[in-house]
A = this chain, B = another copy of it.
Amino acid sequence: MYNKIPTLKEIAQRLKISVSTASRAMHNHPSIGLRTKTEVQQLAKELGYEPNQTALFFKQQKTHVVGVVLPNLKEEFFSQAINGIEYVAKENNYSVLIGQSHDDVEQEKQIINTMKNHRVDGLIVSISKYTKDYDHLTALEKYNIPVVFFDRVPGISFVHKVSSDIYESTKQAVEFLINNGHRRIGVINGPNEMKSCKERTDAYMKVLKNKKIKIDLSLVVFTDLTQQKTFEAMIELLKLKRPPTAIITINDYVALDAIQYARKAKLKINKDICFVSYSNLPITNYLAFPPLASVEQYPYEQAKKATEILFELLNKTNNNEEKIFYRDVIIKGQLIIHKK
């Protein structure tokens, strides 16, 4: 036999008072008599009454839910990000609705639409690697549902975003390799439409130019981050007349595959060929052949900051007049040199 979750109505009926009185009594409204107040609060406690969030939505137009859309949770980068989001959400008494796009634009659109229909108060988004137009996202802003992007952010200016300074980190990475004597540096990059990938390429070129090292475009390969494509990229790089002595990979997962391939090709890691990567996954500590260095991108901090911005936007009495000031926060990365 099931009980119902207690409602104000029930409390009111039992005490033979009106629902409105019960409501006010719960909120310690001054116009309610002390006796009634204590009676109501007492009974509420006994029954374990707590207000129905779903019902509250009507009056307050707030669901107290933030939506999170990201490519996948499998990557530790994103599960750490979730922790940052959850932390801030909790502080603000919010819950987190999660959807994974699995790097599929259609799924991303669907998820975001579902979240709209659930009337999430705001959204934290890291876009899929193939997302090129952002209409499904900017549309939400029209409905006054703020969206803050992190890490995988769109390359447009009229959105709020928090991202890692890939350009700067990449410069450091390339300089680090050059200082270690490398002149032939390969890049296994992601799709060049991704903002961060373009920054990698640009930074790479910039440093080589500064250091007066000849740029060889056959050293820069674009992939879709799958293991298959990584292997193909390695084949391509290794069969060059003058193959690279160091390779920068777009992230540690790709680095792992690339290193695996290099080992199969009988290359000595960190001797015949060096790898530098991004993400600085904890798991690399357990590897016999980790990348030589990896750029820590602080996913927790990125996501935390993005969520803080979201709550700033939510708490702002949204003045239609005021011109929107779009936030663009950069979280500096750090090149972590792994001790051998």
| B-binding segment of A27-35, A48-56, A192-200 | A48-56
Q: Knowing A52-B117, A83-B100 touch, does A2 contact B74 (C-beta < 8 A)? A: no
- Given known contacts A96-B97, A114-B95, A283-B283, A119 and B54 CB-to-CB distance under 8 angstroms: yes
CB–CB B63/A286 < 8 A: no
Is B73 a contact of A117 with CB atoms below 8 Å?
no
Q: Cβ of A132 < 8 Å from any Cβ of B?
A: no
Among A141-171, those with CB < 8 Å from B are: 142-144
Contact A73 B65 (CB under 8 A): no
**Quick check: B82 and A52 within 8 Å, CB to CB?**
no
- CB-based contact A53/B119 at 8 Å: yes
Q: Is A2 in contact with B144, judged by CB distance below 8 angstroms?
A: yes
- Assembly CA distance A323 to B53 (angstroms): 31
The oligomer's copy count stands at 2
SS of A interface (majority): mixed
| A80-100 at interface with B (beta carbon < 8 Å) | 80, 82-83, 86, 95-100
A42 at the B interface (CB under 8 A): no
Contact present for B288 and A50 (CB under 8 Å): no
Please give me the residue from chain B that is nearest to A288 by CB atom: B288
Docked-complex contact B99 and A65, CB < 8 angstroms: no
Q: Contact mask A209-252 → B, CB, 8 Å, 1/0?
A: 00000000000000000000000000000000000000000000
In the assembled complex, A317 has its CB within 8 A of some CB on chain B:
no
A274-299: CB near B (< 8 Å → 1, else 0) gives 00000000010011110000000000
Report how far A65 CA is from B58 CA in the complex, Å: 18
- Chain B residues contacting A51 (CB-CB under 8 Å) are 117
Q: A318 on the interface (CB 8 Å rule)? A: yes
B57 engages A54 (CB within 8 Å): yes
Q: Is the CB of A65 within 8 A of B97?
A: yes
0 or 1 for each of A1-33: is its CB under 8 Å from B? (1 = yes): 111110000000000000000000000000000
Which residues from B are CB-within-8-Å of A73? Answer: 73, 79, 82-83
In the complex, the chain B residue whose C-beta lies closest to that of A255 is B286
Add 11 more A-B contacts to A54-B54, A82-B98 (CB < 8 A).
A2-B320, A53-B117, A73-B79, A79-B79, A95-B97, A95-B99, A95-B115, A96-B97, A96-B99, A97-B97, A260-B286
List 6 A–B pairs whose Cβ atoms lie within 8 Å, in order of A's numbering: A2-B143, A5-B116, A5-B119, A65-B97, A73-B73, A283-B283
Closest 4 CB pairs of A and B: A288-B288, A73-B79, A2-B144, A256-B286
